[in-house]
């Protein structure tokens, strides 16, 4: 057999193949390069950076500590304490390399080939590859037009699988509020779904809850007869991150909160030191300065009100609900407007080709000053005068 000439790719890739499920996957990639120095309204990150206390805490790490594997117990305690309420213990808290790390581990621990993932569409893009790499079957129920309402009845019906040939979904994943539609679902309704499907692992991705306060935790942590707040929801996992509010996206730290038995099962597929010491130190400092996060969230909400007023006045079609982002539909093709905004130093995400929201741009919300800059550039680029 002749070897391929340089530059020519061989018909069969060199080296061993991965699992069949992995061979059919393409890596989940996001446009992350070259974003520094630009106005980043494309990933829903905190746009101003973390609390000065975080910066100080990281600077204070002695160099010899770099040589020591991280310690985690203090952070678990701090997360439990920061969530307030009664009954949460460190054993209820799973620590991950970002919420993406938690999502990956959950699928790894619970998803077997042929199992069903029940979720919504469109939603956060990382759920699908995680399900596919396990060989799961994905059932994604569309949000309901015209207002992108949560498809509650359809999800409820899809959960009711006993007797159906398909079996109960293995995982129900609800992003609340959802990205990119912002759709909000009342926490009580999520608890209702979890109670109706005890065989299904119900994962609530609450990455953006801080902007509207939608969370299943307050009802669970309210005073009740059972000392374990998750005793009534042993199949529920709640995901939280410090990426979008506290400004730690680059350090990668996320949490899964649930019944200790569930958290422990997910931890079985993780490495012993997956979260690095810088992330641990930063998270502790961020949790100790909740006032900084509260002030940032309040500023984003003020900026949101201002931009919504401008969009209404200029009669730009838009959709805004929960989260620190909104959708708007430019007059020109979304991809062209995205490119022109980039030229002007502003990053947003085109949603071209996405079900239900084709033609829109997702614009993350930052400070009033930042959204003022966005609006000026957008008006010019989309010919609003
Ligand atoms: C809904 C949702 N979940 C999870 C993530 C990942 O969060 P983290 O940065 O904590 O991994 C994102 C990031 O964009 C997200 O939008």
Any idea where the domains of the chain sit in the sequence?
Answer: 39-49+291-381, 52-288
- pLDDT value of position 242: 94
Return left, alpha or beta for 374; rule: phi > 0 is left, psi -120 to 50 is alpha, else beta.
Answer: alpha
Interhelix angle for 187-196 vs 152-159, to 10°? 20
Q: What's the average model confidence in pLDDT over 341-355?
A: 95
- pLDDT value of position 94: 98
- pLDDT value of position 163: 52
Alpha carbon distance 380, 373 (integer Å): 11
Residue 193, token pair as written in the block: 């779904």
Task: Note whether 101 and 306 are within 8 A (CB).
Answer: no
327 φ/ψ angles, rounded to the nearest 5 degrees? -105, 140
pLDDT exceeds cutoff 90 at 54: yes
- pLDDT value of position 11: 65
Of the two residues 297 and 84, the one the predictor is more confident about is 297
Q: Is the CB of 115 under 6 A from ligand 1?
A: no
pLDDT exceeds cutoff 70 at 161: no
CATH topology of domain 52-288: 3.40.640
CA Rg value for the chain: 22
Q: In this predicted model, what pLDDT tens digit does every residue of 335-346 receive, in sequence order?
A: 999 999 999 999
Query: What is the whole-number distance in angstroms between the Cα of residue 311 and the centre of ligand 1?
Result: 27
Half-sphere exposure of 294 (CA within 13 A, CB side): 5
Residue 52, token pair as written in the block: 């000065």
pLDDT exceeds cutoff 60 at 70: yes
- pLDDT value of position 152: 98
Sequence-distant (6+) residues with CB within 8 A of 151 are: 120, 141, 142, 143, 144
Alpha carbon distance 138, 123 (integer Å): 13
Sequence-distant (6+) residues with CB within 8 A of 190 are: 174, 176, 202, 204, 216, 236
Distances (CA, A) of 328 to 177, 311, 337, 351, 362: 17, 9, 11, 10, 7
Return left, alpha or beta for 316; rule: phi > 0 is left, psi -120 to 50 is alpha, else beta.
Answer: beta
Strand partners, 171: 117, 201
* Atom from ligand 1 closest to the CA of residue 123: 1
- Which element (helix H / strand E) includes 171? strand 171-175
Interhelix angle for 52-59 vs 277-288, to 10°? 140
- pLDDT category at 14 given cuts 50, 70, 90 is confident
- pLDDT value of position 19: 93
Query: What is the whole-number distance in angstroms between the Cα of residue 100 and the centre of ligand 1?
Result: 6
CATH of 39-49+291-381, one of 3.40.50.10310, 3.90.1150.10, 3.40.50.720, 3.50.50.60: 3.90.1150.10
- pLDDT value of position 252: 97
- pLDDT value of position 86: 85
Q: Is the CB of 176 under 6 A from ligand 1?
A: no
Length of the chain as a residue count:
385
Q: In this predicted model, what pLDDT tens digit does every residue of 84-124 receive, in sequence order?
A: 878 999 999 999 999 999 999 999 999 999 999 999 999 99
Testing ligand 1's pocket by substitution, the residue of 40, 122, 207 carrying the most ligand atoms inside 8 A of its CB is 207
- pLDDT value of position 5: 54
Alpha carbon distance 374, 330 (integer Å): 13
223 φ/ψ angles, rounded to the nearest 5 degrees? -55, 135
- pLDDT category at 34 given cuts 50, 70, 90 is confident
pLDDT exceeds cutoff 60 at 1: no
Alpha carbon distance 149, 130 (integer Å): 25
Query: What is the whole-number distance in angstroms between the Cα of residue 204 and the centre of ligand 1?
Result: 12
- pLDDT category at 3 given cuts 50, 70, 90 is very low
Interhelix angle for 290-313 vs 368-381, to 10°? 30
Q: In this predicted model, what pLDDT tens digit does every residue of 17-26 receive, in sequence order?
A: 999 999 999 8
Among residues 181, 133, 109, 127, the alpha carbon closest in space to that of 22 is found at: 133
Return left, alpha or beta for 246; rule: phi > 0 is left, psi -120 to 50 is alpha, else beta.
Answer: alpha
Antiparallel, parallel or unpaired: β 137-142 and 116-121: parallel
Q: In this predicted model, what pLDDT tens digit does every residue of 364-374 receive, in sequence order?
A: 999 999 999 99
Q: In this predicted model, what pLDDT tens digit does every residue of 180-238 receive, in sequence order?
A: 999 999 999 999 999 999 999 999 999 999 999 999 999 999 988 888 999 999 999 99
- pLDDT value of position 337: 96
* Atom from ligand 1 closest to the CA of residue 44: 14
| Tally of CB atoms within 10 A around 48 | 14
pLDDT exceeds cutoff 90 at 27: no
Alpha carbon distance 256, 206 (integer Å): 10
- pLDDT value of position 2: 44
pLDDT exceeds cutoff 60 at 6: no
Distances (CA, A) of 225 to 133, 196, 221, 222, 265: 41, 21, 11, 10, 26
Query: What is the whole-number distance in angstroms between the Cα of residue 77 and the centre of ligand 1?
Result: 23
Interhelix angle for 73-82 vs 277-288, to 10°? 30
Among residues 110, 232, 95, the alpha carbon closest in space to that of 169 is found at: 110
* pLDDT, mean over the chain: 94
pLDDT exceeds cutoff 70 at 166: no
Query: Residue whose CA is closest, atom 14 of ligand 1?
Result: 43
In the chain, the percentage of residues whose pLDDT exceeds 70 is: 95
pLDDT exceeds cutoff 70 at 7: no
């Amino acid at each position: 057999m002749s070897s391929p000439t340089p530059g020519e790719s061989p018909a069969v890739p060199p080296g061993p193949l991965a699992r069949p499920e992995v061979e059919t996957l393409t890596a989940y990639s996001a446009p992350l390069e070259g974003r520094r120095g630009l106005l980043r309204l494309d990933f829903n990150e905190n746009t101003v950076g973390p609390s000065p206390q975080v910066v100080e805490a990281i600077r204070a790490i002695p160099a010899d500590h770099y040589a020591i594997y991280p310690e985690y117990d203090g952070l678990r305690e701090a997360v439990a304490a920061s969530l307030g309420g009664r009954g949460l213990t460190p054993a209820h808290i799973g620590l991950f390399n970002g919420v993406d790390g938690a999502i990956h581990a959950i699928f790894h621990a619970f998803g077997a080939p042929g199992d069903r993932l029940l979720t919504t569409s469109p939603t956060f893009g990382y759920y699908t590859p995680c399900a596919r790499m396990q060989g799961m079957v994905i059932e994604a129920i569309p949000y309901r037009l015209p207002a992108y309402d949560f498809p509650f009845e359809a999800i409820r019906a899809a959960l009711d699988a006993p007797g159906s040939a398909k079996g109960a979904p293995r995982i129900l994943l609800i992003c609340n509020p959802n990205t990119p539609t912002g759709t909000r679902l009342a926490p009580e309704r999520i608890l209702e779904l979890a109670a109706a499907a005890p065989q299904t692992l119900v994962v609530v991705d609450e990455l953006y809850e801080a902007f509207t306060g939608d969370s299943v935790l307050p009802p669970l942590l309210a005073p009740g007869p059972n000392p374990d707040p998750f005793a009534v929801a042993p199949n529920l996992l709640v995901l939280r991150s410090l990426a979008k509010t506290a400004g730690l996206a680059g350090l990668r730290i996320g949490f899964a909160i649930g019944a200790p038995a569930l958290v422990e099962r997910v931890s079985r597929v993780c490495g012993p030191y997956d979260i690095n010491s810088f992330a641990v130190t930063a998270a502790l400092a961020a949790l100790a300065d909740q006032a900084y996060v509260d002030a940032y969230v309040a500023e984003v909400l003020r900026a949101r009100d201002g931009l919504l007023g401008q969009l209404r006045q200029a009669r730009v079609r838009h959709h805004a609900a929960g989260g620190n982002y909104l959708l708007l539909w430019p007059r020109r093709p979304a991809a062209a407007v995205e490119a022109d905004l980039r030229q002007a130093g502003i990053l947003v995400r085109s949603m071209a080709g996405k079900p239900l929201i084709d033609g829109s741009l997702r614009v993350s919300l930052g400070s009033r000053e930042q959204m003022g800059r966005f609006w000026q550039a957008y008006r010019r680029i989309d010919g609003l005068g």
